[in-house]
Chains A and B, each alone.
Chain A
Amino acid sequence: MADAAPQITEDEFRRLADFLYRRTGMVFTEAKRYYVERRILDRIVATSSQSFAAYFAYLRSGLRDEVEHLINAFTVNETYFYREDHQLACLSADLLKERVATKKPGDAIRIWSIPCSTGEEPYSIAIWLLENWKDVDAYDIEIVGSDIDTRVLDAAMEGVFGKRALMRLSSELIGRYFHELDDERWQILDDLRQSVRFSRVNLIETKETRAQGRFDVIFCRNVLIYFDDESRRIAAENLYDSLLPGGFICLGHTESMSRISPLFEVCRYSGAIVYRRPQELRA
């Protein structure tokens, strides 16, 4: 998002929240302001509106289902199972193949999902490996999901998901790895819940990232973009520190580590571009 994007005043936010409440029943309090504002600014840009007032008028006119677009903007950023599955394909086809080349059967393979939000990503990794990696029983796979927000971690541990989160999974996969609670909610199987360990971690607190140990592969998608330059640099150093030499980090598809830190080397695979902590030089 450009810095030049129009700002939203308190009064404008209140009027918009009021409008959305009347139209959708969704309540957006001042506490959610940052969350709401980011998405509104995205829609202002997307509709080429010149100002908040112009956008608000457009929204109220009901043209081109803008209310629906705005609501979607609030929800499509919620994550879902098998999001960016080309990276998962890269994990099973390329990254793990390289990692196990230095290991023997029975050794640990550690994978970190940060931020993990309500668990869709770490559980997706578990399901993907069960479905697509033939060595899944030959290594001690440890998947860790971390987030700064303890509320999402509680939800992740509960492992209950709605239709939207499962939209990319086939009914066969849902049948295999979830049990249906009711028409709208599915809970992930106990064994899968136990296969992921969740922990609260702030990515820019070095002592917290260090406490998680070192990983073979880290998924850190769509979070560095929300940091300022200084925090981003610290986060990149912490991530580097959290990788085993030769370990990989996967970012969101719009993100680039090269712009953030010179510590990593770029690796291009058929399915994805990932970054790697270089192997330590041998004397």
Chain B
Amino acid sequence: MSDVSRKRILVIDDAALVRTYYRAALEARGFVVEEALNGLEGLEKLLLEPFDLAIVDVNMPRMDGMTFLQTLRAKELPVSGIPVLVTSTEAKAQDLAAARRAGANYYLVKPISQEMLAEYAAMFCGAPR
């Protein structure tokens, strides 16, 4: 198992069940997980505390995932350089391309298995395999 102790991940999703599902997957692998309910809250948390990765949903109230990404990437370093993994139920090529343009490091189409999520999280946190 990868050593990911103390690596911090922010899960940004408006669905409480999804946050619980991702949290369980990531905590089982030793990540420290924080949550935000929308893009705006996600930005606030990223500006206040250090994170190694943000996992963000696209369709959310108040601030959606794409707006979150564009706003984050326009900030100063180092916060603007945080890796971001976008998750969405939209699987079309144009959705993927839009996420890339907004600054996503990677795009996963829901449903995402807990194993897959933990694998990608470990990869983006730079944890040894």
Contact = CB atoms under 8 A, between A and B. Distances in A.
Given A106-B89, A129-B17, A195-B17, A137 B24 contact: no
Interface string B1-35: 00000000000000111111111100000000001
Given A106-B89, A138-B89, A130 B17 contact: yes
A189 B111 contact: no
Contact of B89 (A105, A126, A176, A189): A105
A135 B111 contact: yes
A140 interface: yes
A280 interface: no
Contacts of B112: 137
Among B18, B20, B87, which residue has the most Cβ atoms of chain A within 10 A?
A: B20
Interface residues of B, number: 20
A136 B89 contact: no
Contacts of A129: 17
Chain A interface residue bracket vs B: 20 to 34
Contacts of A141: 15, 17
Contacts of A140: 15
Contact of B20 (A134, A135, A138, A195): A195
A192 B18 contact: no
Nearest to A143: B17
A191 B111 contact: no
Contacts, number: 57
B101 interface: no
A112 to B, nearest CB: 16
Contacts of A136: 17-18, 21, 111
A106 B22 contact: no
A134 B113 contact: yes
A81 to B, nearest CB: 16
A102 interface: no
B59 A130 contact: no
A254 interface: no
B41 interface: no
Interface string A132-157: 00111111110000000000000000
A195 B111 CA distance: 18
B13 to A, nearest CB: 8
A192 B20 CA distance: 7
A134 B24 contact: no
A111 B16 CA distance: 15
A104 B109 CA distance: 13
Contact of A137 (B35, B90, B110): B110
8 contacts: A105-B110, A126-B17, A130-B17, A135-B111, A137-B22, A139-B89, A141-B15, A194-B16
